[in-house]
């Protein structure tokens, strides 16, 4: 990945695309902009439509239109009746999979639970109209437009703009209007400024897409957000990670939050704006304290990992898990608590500390559900730990002595499957 970044001449710079998920085009020298389209508009798409024949087993149901306006193996497919309407610029295979996918039930808050208003220096944003409780789903949506990365990066700009316009024209009027209200001067710019990186069809060659969710993209960035998002195939879910009070702005983080202030500013600046969020506008002394906490968090996580790699986890102490939770909470990293609670629950259980194992396992279950979703594998293990610590595989793997943690593992209660 690093190698790609260094060599790349153009990267998708969507602020909502996390750094580790950026898709960059190959160096220009090796990969020329490719377009097989001619300038005579009527024949512009037809020529390549004829050239590309999708396999017959990817035949779409009659409610879907396409393939049309193809570029290499990527074509426009659309269905105005799929949820709020959906246009795809993708392969026949992925369009076929989309056509077979259950229509994401559009759910979440009633529109009366929030309102849109201008935020100084940020454009429009969303605000709570009532208390939104931690764990409440804000939006559950499918993309109204998904664009495979290759045409987005490689198409000739003029052709690309026409193609995106055609994709939007095929959406129902209300959805189209919502799409057009997103920030950005051109269709391409709207995609760049508002898309989330989504992976359709597992981890195959053509999986990376830019997904546009116009309602979600009205949510501004904050380095210490009150909302977390997760994406599974076609479904984008936003969930409150703490209670949000009436009048408070709804925020997500466009970048990974556990980074130092200067790095966060740099990343967001590269993606087109100077961040004026609650964390970035703290007084300098508080920014310094926050950076220190992040350094402590990283050092402690490394220490736990190193110690756990030693035979019998020599030197690890349950209090390290407790301290880590404290630091995360003090740093308001509410959107990233699941692994921290899980680690703390297991550490306390390993040392036979029943009450703390229960408390952290209960917190871990809720955080896993928020951050990963109800299908998260570790939820079941944390549920068992919360209900019956002594029956859990981790219980008492290490014992505590009167003078603190003993390094002698008892190992007597490890049971597979728990
Ligand atoms: C996905 S849009 C968010 C909604 C947007 N404010 C609107 O009016 O539709 C992203 C854009 O909002 C603005 N923005 C979001 N979060 C911001 C922040 N923390 N500080 C400054 N500008 C921000 C930037 O202009 C950014 O390119």
Instruction: Supply the residue whose CA is at minimum distance from atom 15 of ligand 1.
Output: 220
Q: What is the pLDDT along the chain (418 residues), one digit of tens a residue?
A: 122 222 222 233 343 443 333 333 322 222 333 333 323 222 222 233 444 444 567 889 999 999 999 998 999 999 999 999 999 999 999 999 998 887 666 789 999 999 999 999 999 999 999 999 999 999 999 999 999 999 999 999 999 999 999 999 999 999 999 999 999 999 999 999 999 999 998 888 899 999 999 999 999 999 999 999 999 888 999 999 999 999 999 999 999 999 999 999 999 998 889 999 999 999 999 999 999 999 999 999 999 999 999 887 889 999 999 999 999 999 999 999 999 999 999 999 999 999 999 999 999 999 999 999 999 999 999 999 999 999 999 999 876 443 344 433 343 334 333 3
0.95 exceeded by the pTM?
no
Q: What is the pLDDT of residue 20?
A: 34
Residues of the chain by 3-state class (helix, strand, coil), percent to 5:
40, 20, 40
For residue 29, what pLDDT is reported? 26
How far is it between the farthest Cα atoms of the chain? Answer: 85
d(CA 69, CA 77): 9
Task: Judge contact between 372 and 230, C-beta under 8 A.
Answer: yes
Query: Which residue lies with its CA nearest to atom 23 of ligand 1?
Result: 122
Residue 56 is predicted with a pLDDT of 61
User: Does the beta carbon of 93 lie inside 6 Å of ligand 1?
Assistant: no
End-to-end CA distance of the chain: 36
What CATH architecture does domain 2-252 belong to? Answer: Beta Complex (2.170)
**Any ligand 1 atom below 6 A from CB of 184:** no
Residue 104 has what pLDDT?
63
What does the pLDDT read at residue 201?
85
For residue 311, the model assigns a pLDDT of: 83
Contacts with 215 (C-beta within 8 Å, 6 or more apart), sequence order: 139, 141, 178
The CB of 193 under 6 Å from ligand 1? The reply is yes
Residue 249 pairs in a beta bridge with: 127
Ligand 1 atom index nearest CA of 221: 16
Query: Residue 41: which of 154, 161, 159 has the closest Cα?
Result: 159
Per the CB < 8 A criterion, the answer to whether 353 and 318 are in contact is yes
Expressed in angstroms and rounded, the spacing between residue 132 Cα and the centre of ligand 1 is 22
Which of 123, 215, 238, 275 to mutate to test ligand 1, by most ligand atoms within 8 A of the CB atom? 123
**CA dihedral in degrees (310, 312, 316, 322; nearest 10)?**
120
Contacts 24+ apart (CB under 8 A), 89-92: 89/145, 89/146, 89/147, 89/148, 89/151, 89/152, 89/163, 89/164, 89/167, 90/146, 90/147, 90/148, 90/200, 90/206, 90/209, 91/148, 91/206, 92/54, 92/55, 92/58, 92/67
Q: pLDDT at position 399, please? A: 60
Domain regions of the chain by residue span: 2-252, 284-409
Region for residue 338 given its phi and psi (left: phi exceeds 0; alpha: psi -120 to 50; beta: otherwise)? alpha
Task: Give me the interface pTM, i.e. the ipTM.
Answer: 0.99
Instruction: Say whether 35 sits in a helix, a strand or coil.
Output: coil
Say if ligand 1 is within 6 A of residue 194 CB. Answer: yes
For residue 246, what pLDDT is reported? 98
Neighbouring C-beta atoms of residue 314, cutoff 10 Å: 12
Query: 123 CB less than 6 Å from ligand 1?
Result: yes
Q: 312 to each of 322, 342, 410, 415, how far by Cα in Å? A: 20, 19, 10, 17
């Amino acid at each position: 990945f690093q190698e790609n970044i260094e060599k790349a001449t153009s990267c998708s710079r969507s602020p909502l695309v996390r750094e580790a998920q950026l898709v960059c085009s190959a160096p220009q020298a090796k990969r020329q902009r490719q377009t097989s389209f001619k300038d005579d508009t009527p024949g512009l798409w037809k020529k390549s439509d004829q050239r590309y024949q999708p396999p017959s087993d990817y035949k779409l149901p009659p409610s879907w239109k396409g393939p049309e306006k193809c570029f290499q193996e990527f074509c426009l497919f659309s269905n105005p009746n799929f949820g709020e309407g959906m246009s795809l610029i993708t392969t026949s295979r992925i369009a076929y999979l989309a056509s077979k996918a259950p229509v994401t039930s559009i759910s979440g808050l009633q529109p009366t639970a929030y309102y849109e208003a201008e935020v100084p220096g940020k454009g429009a944003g969303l605000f709570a109209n009532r208390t939104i409780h931690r764990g409440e789903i804000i939006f559950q949506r499918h993309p109204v437009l998904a664009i495979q990365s290759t045409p987005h990066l490689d198409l000739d700009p003029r052709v690309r703009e026409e193609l995106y316009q055609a994709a939007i024209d095929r959406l129902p009027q209300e959805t189209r209007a919502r799409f057009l209200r997103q920030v950005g001067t051109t269709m391409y710019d709207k995609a760049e400024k508002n898309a989330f990186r989504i992976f359709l069809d597992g981890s195959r060659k053509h999986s990376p897409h830019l997904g546009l969710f116009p309602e979600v993209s009205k949510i501004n960035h904050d380095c210490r957000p009150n909302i977390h998002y997760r994406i599974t195939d076609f479904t984008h879910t936003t969930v409150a990670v703490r209670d949000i009070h009436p009048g408070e702005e709804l925020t997500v983080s466009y970048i990974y939050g556990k980074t130092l202030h200067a790095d966060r500013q740099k990343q967001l600046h590269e993606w087109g704006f100077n961040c004026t969020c609650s964390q970035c506008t703290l007084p300098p002394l508080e920014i310094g304290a926050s950076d220190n906490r992040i350094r402590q968090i990283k050092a402690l996580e490394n220490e736990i990992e190193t110690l756990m790699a030693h035979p019998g986890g020599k030197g690890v102490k349950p209090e390290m898990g407790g301290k880590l939770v404290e630091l995360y909470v003090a740093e308001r990293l509410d959107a990233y608590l699941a692994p921290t609670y899980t680690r703390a629950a297991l550490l306390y259980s390993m040392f036979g500390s029943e009450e703390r194992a229960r408390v952290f396992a209960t917190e871990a279950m809720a955080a896993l559900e928020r951050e990963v979703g109800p299908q998260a594998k570790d939820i079941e293990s944390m549920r068992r730990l919360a209900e019956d610590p002594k029956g859990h595989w981790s219980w008492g793997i290490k014992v505590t002595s009167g003078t603190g943690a003993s390094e002698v593992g008892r190992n007597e209660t490890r049971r597979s499957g728990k």
